[in-house]
Amino acid sequence: MQFDAALAAQDAFRRAETELGSDWKAAVELESTFSSNAGTTAREAYEELLLMAGRHPQAYSFHAFCIYITWQQVTEETIARHFETGMRLSEEYLAASDGKEQRDITYVAELHESFRAGLGLEEEDDIQMEFRKDTPKGGD
């Protein structure tokens, strides 16, 4: 990777404060628990952060943060479920670029390829790329 996912996560998390409103304090506590623990405690905080992201679909910086910490989960516990979660989250994130930081889009696209590679999925062939280009993004 051409960037440090942990540093990108910190930056995205700082930018997420305005996106989360009244959930910000809970997010800070969960992030602190996630960052300072390992094993079950960190995994539970991680799962709660993902649930919070689901409650804030327009919180793009927070969603990028969740993708970055999913990569951290992959490095802590290299199991298919984390790669699958990362792939799903990154695909949802990349489906539309409106209102998102270009840097996050670039980093998430790179992580998406890493999640795919971790699952043993090969690069897209020409037919898959054409299909993805022709698929409507967001909106209707």
Q: What is the pLDDT of residues 30-76, one digit of tens each?
A: 999 999 998 899 999 999 999 999 999 999 999 999 999 999 999 88
At residue 140, the pLDDT reads 45
pTM over 0.95: no
- Classify 17 as helix, strand or coil: helix
Q: Which of 100, 81, 86, 85 is nearest to 138 (CA)?
A: 100
Please name the residue that has the structure tokens 């991680």. Answer: 46
